[in-house]
Amino acid sequence: MSDPIQTDEPDMTAAEFALGVLDGEDRRAAAARAAGDPAFAAEVAAWEERLTPMAAGVIPMEPSPQVWTRIAAALGTTPGLWNSVVFWRGATLAGIAAAAASLAIVAGPLLRTPAPPINAPQTILPVEVASLSTKPGEPASVVATLDPNSHELVLTPVALKLTDDQSPELWVIPAGAQPISLGVMDRTKPYRIPIPMQMNGEGRTTAQLVVTAEQLGGSPDKKPHGPAIAAGKFGQA
Amino acid sequence: MVEDLERARLIQARRKVAEGDRTALREVYQRTSAKLFGVVIRILNDRQDAEDVLQDVYLTVWRRAESFDPAKASPITWLVSIARNRAIDRLRSGGGRLMTDIDEALGLADPAPDAAAQAVANADAARLNSCIEGLDPKHAAAVRTAFFEGLTYDALARLAGVPLGTMKSWIRRSLMSLRLCLEGA
């Protein structure tokens, strides 16, 4: 909309942007300008310093406890990319192994566990990754990440083939033994469980992880009935 | 001064956040989330949307902590700015709920009548408040409503029952006066 601008009035866009009075279109334009023009960005920052003390008058309010839980979950103890469904889509085992090798170098500082006891050594153990797929060599349907620092197994669903009236159930099968249910999986986003007992020690590389398509809510009798839709194992160190 | 100690603690915690220390982010969250949630929910008037935005705010803090320069800005300004910006972005793309309280029906009542009392605890807030008090009361109310509610020029003009051009003039002139006042002219 046209707006007669006096030639002797300075451009107040930076101030208007900082205050927040610009509408969607003008606001986007100002944000773009701040991103590309350091002088304008500095002007905006100066206006924010001037105006933000008004926030002293804001009445504080406690958010629900779930907000922090979700923030912590989004951060995880492994770098963001590990848990990104988009990142893993189409990844084969070779691709994952290569990614694991390069990420291990980058990921070191991000693998710190929160607040270790004073006397505990600050060792940062590398994570291990396994691809669970319909057949060896096929792209991953689920990526499983073993994080020994937090003692958790992170499952990231990538491409599970299920109908709406099926639930994906995860099983651990120790060598030569019966499958043990690790529960119904979250099919939409990464989630974590404690590392199953069966995967301690030798079990780490001999136990198989399998996903089956069970009835809604999972198998009623703790035994797999549906077809296996993904399987895999952790490799040798 | 208490506020200097708090500021020093926030700067230290923020440095640790920049180094990827999750417990430091938790500390920043514990110290600041109630204030930032107050800022965001005032703009959005919807608890669910406000909580989604608050989550996004702290993830932004986590990603951007490295680029914050304590010599150039105060940590609480930085945090409040991120919170306001995210909340207003959400409001502009259709989030939140419109104000429905009586003040809207009556026009622009000044939203912070006892800002003076709360500002005493913070020297910057006290100074800004006295500069705002020096404006025409209708203009002061417009500036405060803009800050607290995150409204557009258009919404402010409709609320105050004045033409758009008038509201733009009120706000621009008020901002210029505030700058002069804060610079001690």
Nearest to A185 by CA among A145, A156, A159, A206: A156
- DSSP state letter for A78: S
State the amino acid at position A49 in one-letter form. E
Tell me what pLDDT residue B22 has. Answer: 78
Tell me what pLDDT residue A83 has. Answer: 42
Separation of CA B164 from chain center: 23
Sheet of strand A128-132, all strands in order from the earlier edge strand to the far edge: A128-132, A142-147, A152-157, A191-194
- pLDDT tens per residue across span B24-80: 888 889 989 999 999 999 999 999 999 999 999 999 988 888 777 777 778 888 999
Tell me what pLDDT residue A116 has. Answer: 39
Residues ≥6 apart with Cβ < 8 Å to B63: none
Tell me what pLDDT residue B106 has. Answer: 43
Cβ atoms within 10 A of the Cβ of B172, count? 21
pLDDT in single tens digits along all 237 residues of chain A: 555 555 567 899 999 999 999 998 999 999 999 999 999 999 999 999 999 999 988 888 999 999 998 998 887 644 444 444 444 555 554 455 454 444 443 333 333 334 434 444 444 566 778 888 888 777 888 888 887 767 788 888 888 888 888 999 999 998 888 899 999 998 888 888 888 888 888 888 888 999 999 998 899 988 999 899 999 888 754
* B179 at A interface, C-beta within 8 A: yes
| Closest CB to B34 among A10, A27, A61 | A61
Q: Which residues of A touch B128 (CB under 8 A)?
A: 50-51, 53-54
Given a cut of 70, whether residue B163 has pLDDT beyond it is yes
Q: What DSSP element (H or E) covers A177?
A: none
Residues ≥6 apart with Cβ < 8 Å to B131: B177, B178, B181, B182
Tell me what pLDDT residue B135 has. Answer: 95
Tell me what pLDDT residue A47 has. Answer: 96
Tell me what pLDDT residue A190 has. Answer: 82
Pairwise CB contact (< 8 Å): A68 & B33: yes
Burial A219-232 (b: 16+ CB within 10 A, else e): beeeebebeebbbb
| Closest CB to B51 among A24, A64, A74 | A64
| Closest CB to B55 among A47, A70, A77 | A70
Residues ≥6 apart with Cβ < 8 Å to A42: none
Given a cut of 80, whether residue B132 has pLDDT beyond it is yes
Give the residue with greater pLDDT, A124 vs B177: B177
Percent over 70 (pLDDT), chain B: 83
Angstrom CA distances, A34 to A5, A21, A45, B180, stand at: 21, 16, 10, 23
Write out residues 85-144 of B within 8 Å (CB-CB) of A. 85, 88-89, 92-93, 112, 114-115, 118-119, 121-122, 124-125, 127-129, 132, 143-144
Write out residues 176-205 of A within 8 Å (CB-CB) of B. none
Angstrom CA distances, B179 to A37, A47, A125, A190, B127, stand at: 22, 9, 54, 49, 12
Tell me what pLDDT residue A108 has. Answer: 34
* A86 at B interface, C-beta within 8 A: no
Distance CA B19, CA B34 (A): 24
Sheet of strand A166-173, all strands in order from the earlier edge strand to the far edge: A180-184, A166-173, A208-215, A228-232
- DSSP state letter for A125: P
Pairwise CB contact (< 8 Å): B122 & A53: yes
Which range, of B42-56, B86-100, B105-119, averages the lowest pLDDT?
B105-119
Best mutation site among B16, B19, B32, B37 for testing chain A: the one with the most A CBs within 10 Å? B37
Please say whether the beta carbons of A152 and A194 come within 8 A: yes
Nearest to B113 by CA among A86, A59, A26, A89: A59
Tell me what pLDDT residue B26 has. Answer: 87
How many residues can be counted in chain B? 185
Pairwise CB contact (< 8 Å): B19 & A21: no
Angstrom CA distances, B13 to A53, A188, B27, stand at: 21, 34, 7
Which DSSP string do the residues of A183-235 spell out, in sequence order? EEPPSSS-EEEEPPGGGSTTHHHH-EEEEEEEETTS-TTSS--SPEEEEE---
Distance CA B14, CA A98 (A): 33
Pairwise CB contact (< 8 Å): B41 & A62: no
Separation of CA B156 from chain center: 17
Q: What is the ipTM of this complex?
A: 0.86
Beta strand pairing status for A228-232 and A208-215? Answer: antiparallel
Which range, of A155-169, A173-187, B3-17, B129-143, averages the lowest pLDDT?
B3-17
Residues ≥6 apart with Cβ < 8 Å to A98: none
User: Residue A21's closest chain B neighbor by CA?
Assistant: B152
Tell me what pLDDT residue A1 has. Answer: 52
Q: Which residues of B touch A72 (CB under 8 A)?
A: 22, 26
Distance CA B177, CA B185 (A): 10
Tell me what pLDDT residue B131 has. Answer: 95
Distance CA B147, CA A15 (A): 12
Tell me what pLDDT residue A103 has. Answer: 43
Distance CA A100, CA B39 (A): 41
Q: Which residues of B touch A81 (CB under 8 A)?
A: none
Question: What is the Rg, in whole angstroms, of the alpha carbon atoms belonging to chain B?
Answer: 18
pTM comes to: 0.58
Tell me what pLDDT residue A169 has. Answer: 93
Q: Which residues of A touch B57 (CB under 8 A)?
A: none
Tell me what pLDDT residue A211 has. Answer: 93
Pairwise CB contact (< 8 Å): A53 & B58: no
Nearest to A178 by CA among A120, A132, A222: A222
